[in-house]
Amino acid sequence: MDPAQATRDIADVAAVEVITTASVHLLSAAAVKVGLADDPDTQTDLDEARKLINALAGLITAAAPDISDMHARSLRDGLRSVQLAFREASTIPDPIGQGPGEKFTGPVN
């Protein structure tokens, strides 16, 4: 594909679609890294999951006022799910309020 064509294509994409697509990618990657995928024995990596969850929480928190409650609510639900899965997968759980993304979302328990 011609790079100029790709640039024109992205110009036609609404911001809410770019934000939700990026969020879904972060959410999916975080789910795999917390062990919610096909092969948790080889795919779980909580250090990587923490980074992905922090990025996801920051993006959702920053974008929520601009993307409508309908979009933000489902993204927040997914975020909370991976935050809870992270807590369950941790052998030494973070204190409440200090887990991944909780500086953006508040305590998750």
Contact between 59 and 5 under an 8 Å Cβ cutoff? The reply is: no
Extents of the domains making up the chain: 13-105
Helices and strands, counts by H and E, the chain: 6, 0
Helix, strand and coil percent figures for the chain, each rounded to 5: 70, 0, 30
Per residue in 84-93, pLDDT tens? Answer: 999 999 999 8
Inter-residue contact 93 to 57 (CB < 8 Å): no
Place of tokens 């920053």: 62
pLDDT for position 4:
65
Question: What is the rounded average pLDDT of the residues 39-48?
Answer: 95
Give 51-83 pLDDT, tens digit per residue: 999 999 999 999 999 999 999 999 999 999 999
- The sign one gets for the Cα dihedral 88, 23, 77, 103 is positive
100-105 mean pLDDT: 97
Tell me the whole-structure pTM to 2 decimals. 0.90
d(Cα 25, Cα 49) in Å, to the nearest integer? 13
